[in-house]
Amino acid sequence: MFRILLSKLSVAILAGVGMLATATPAEAAFRMRIDNNSNGQGVVFTDGLAPAANNPSAGVLSFTGANGAFTVIVATGTSQPPQNLNPGALHGLDLVGLSVSSATGGTMTMSLQLTGLSYSGVLGLLAHVGGTLTGANSSINFSLWANGANNFPAYGPDQYSFGAIGAIGGLPAGSVNAYGPGGVTINTAGSFSADGFVEFTSGGTYSLFLQAVITFGSGGGSASFDFLGSTFVPAPAGLVLFASAVPGLAFGVSRYRRKK
């Protein structure tokens, strides 16, 4: 039996001052998808379109339900003002407080995408994840992508209860992963932490999307993690603010400075 608790699933649409002042989202869309990979069923939500039970207010996505071996409780999915997440960031995704356990094994996937984000020029994409993993043959693969042409995987139409669902669309050409091709895979029990960084160029409108693929062996296991990704203009001061807010990303700031 899987038990999933997502205490906070957040999208931050952030704008700073000065050179950040014109980099604001244009028609940004936030979507979430949860897949039970064992039976090909899933749910999909779009902020602002989901019914009141799943979208109680603007910038909030919520879901509670069960499917097969899974029990899923999403307490909140929110968008936050700049002061609450990553000072100095331009835009970001934050998957926080997810707790997953299974006595019998299996695989589930959680995906987020934020699209229609405005900026022209080079951006840095920084990722950080930390958490714990237990269970023999357990693993989690994390990926955080940006696409400078605002292309993104198709999630399919919204459906608010688990049912048959097609596969997520393929990775669009030109997408870059902060962890490199294939993402980063955690397959050792205990505490873990992984940081990633990559630059990309936005042609005027870009997209962000992340994914966590959690697999437990037949003996079961458990996992919890905080997965955070943000974009920054090439300004070391902004990166310093981000690094101070998210320990573990100092290497990204240093690397970004060297590249500049």
Sign of CA dihedral 147, 150, 156, 160: positive
> What total number of domains does the chain contain?
1
Contact 194, 126 (CB under 8 A): no
| Banded model confidence at residue 129, pLDDT cuts 50, 70, 90 | very high
Q: How far is Cα of residue 231 from the mean position of the Cα atoms in its chain?
A: 13
139-147 vs 190-216, strand pairing mode: antiparallel
Q: What is the pTM of this model?
A: 0.81
77-80 vs 139-147, strand pairing mode: unpaired
Q: Which distant-in-sequence residues (6+ apart) come within 8 Å of 82 by Cβ? A: 12, 14, 15, 16, 89
| Banded model confidence at residue 25, pLDDT cuts 50, 70, 90 | very low
Section 119-125 average pLDDT:
94
Section 65-71 average pLDDT:
70
Q: Which residues pair with 158 in a beta bridge?
A: none
Structure-model confidence comparison of residues 199 and 97, the more confident one: 199
Section 129-137 average pLDDT:
93
Q: What percent of the chain has pLDDT above 70?
A: 67
Q: What is the dihedral of CA 230, 144, 128, 23, to 10 degrees?
A: 0
* The residue to which tokens 């002042």 are assigned: 21
pLDDT at 195: 96
The rounded distance, in Å, linking the Cα atoms of 86 and 90 is: 9
The rounded distance, in Å, linking the Cα atoms of 56 and 75 is: 12
Mean pLDDT of the chain: 77
Q: Is 1 helix (H, G, I), strand (E, B) or coil?
A: coil
Section 202-216 average pLDDT:
93
Domain that holds residue 60: 2-259
pLDDT at 14: 38
Section 211-224 average pLDDT:
88
> 201-221 burial by CB neighbour count: b if 16+ within 10 A, else e?
ebeebbbbbbbbbbbbeeebb
Token couple for 225 = 């993690």
pLDDT at 220: 85
The rounded distance, in Å, linking the Cα atoms of 214 and 12 is: 24
Radius of gyration of the chain (CA): 18
pLDDT at 42: 92
pLDDT at 88: 72
DSSP tag of 169: P
pLDDT at 219: 87
Please write the tens of the pLDDT for every residue from 153-203: 999 999 988 899 999 999 999 999 999 999 999 999 999 999 999 999 999
pLDDT at 49: 83
| Banded model confidence at residue 151, pLDDT cuts 50, 70, 90 | very high
Q: What is the DSSP string of 134-163?
A: ESTT-EEEEEEEEETT-------S-EEEEE
* The residue to which tokens 């505490």 are assigned: 191
The rounded distance, in Å, linking the Cα atoms of 78 and 63 is: 12
